[in-house]
Structure 1
Amino acid sequence: MKKKKLEMLLDSLKPHPNPKVELEQYTISGSLASELLFLAQKDFIGKTVLDLGCGTGRLAIGAKLLGAKRAVGIDIDRESIEVAKENAKALGVDVEFICNDVRNIKREMFDEEVVVIQNPPFGAQKKGSDRIFLEKALELGDVIYSIHNYPTKDFVVKFVESLGGEVTNIYKANFRIPAIYRFHKKRALEIPVLIFRIVRR
């Protein structure tokens, strides 16, 4: 599948109908999702992909479309999970969606190599929430792809190293944020982000 085709398919999926600001719920664009997935495809093809904080399922669904053997999405928000299930059904892909706090997910649930892909909270609403996702990703994944706010680059590298991981690649990208919350003043914002490829030592 070509990148543009995947982008169009993912953009056709339902967004979250009632995003919650405290969870920093922003639907990832088809453009950014496909960019991450094509970067990660060489690592996850034929393997298990785990999408932590999966939201409406775009990354997990896209991974399955690009050749992941198994795709699992985890999210604490039940409404997100229900929409994600609808989205997977709409594209005819088999993805497992679990409503749970990512902190409760154990490595024993997976008896094979795991590639984590995630668009975690940036920690703007709840300080430290990005750390929770990085810690869990390094506990569960052999290879991790994670999106973070551009100014946190040095922090992410040092934090990953403190957990016994290694950042092997950093890619620049843009995250489009439409005006979905009351405090948003502009119709949309493009914020610079970084996609980190991380391995567990």
Structure 2
Amino acid sequence: MSKRQSAKYKIDRRLGENIWGRPKSPVNKREYGPGQHGQRRKGKLSDFGLQLRAKQKLKGHYGDISEKQFRKTYEEANRRRGDTSENLIGLLESRLDAVVYRAKFVPTIWSARQFINHGHINVNGRRTNIPSYRCKPGDVIEVREKSKQLVIVLEAVQLAERDVPDYIEVDHTKMTAKYGRVPALGDVPYAVQMEPNLVVEYYSR
């Protein structure tokens, strides 16, 4: 098992939830934390504990991005007009790795990051290898010609476990996706309930 895969499953087990809705998640068999005391860790969480858990869950869903990067995203969301929690979701979903993952060009958010790092993606016709690149409505994301027949891409397109959300227009024959609009919380197909309002509370302390 690769480091990425073990990290992915570790997050699921630590949180006790299948946060990507994947059929192979260990949580599908054991809904308790890892280790010999995993089954005993069901005490009532404090307000801080609930806020921390909400942050870990949201941060984990996007490939466990670094705390520094996640906090910067929150601060940007807080500076913008409107609801901070909705802004936070919009900014996270605008990340290039999130768009590539949602478009089903790759099977996981981790593979999306690696795929972009290795130079397999063009944005508006230009090669882009920064996973945190912020897409804007109207941007066209495309798998580069020489990468369209990679096994990882062909397998991801066939995945039945998730659908492409309606704010991304995808043509899997051409391997292109258009980022249509910045989504609201209710538009994002999370496999579990996300609580960005608790994340805002966590950082507002």
Q: Which has the higher helix share?
A: 2
* Shared fold (TM-score, shorter chain, > 0.5): no
| TM-score normalised by length of structure 1 | 0.28
| TM-score normalised by length of structure 2 | 0.28
Greater CA radius of gyration, 1 or 2? 2
Higher RCO (C-alpha 8 Å, min separation 6): 2
Q: Which has the higher strand share?
A: 1
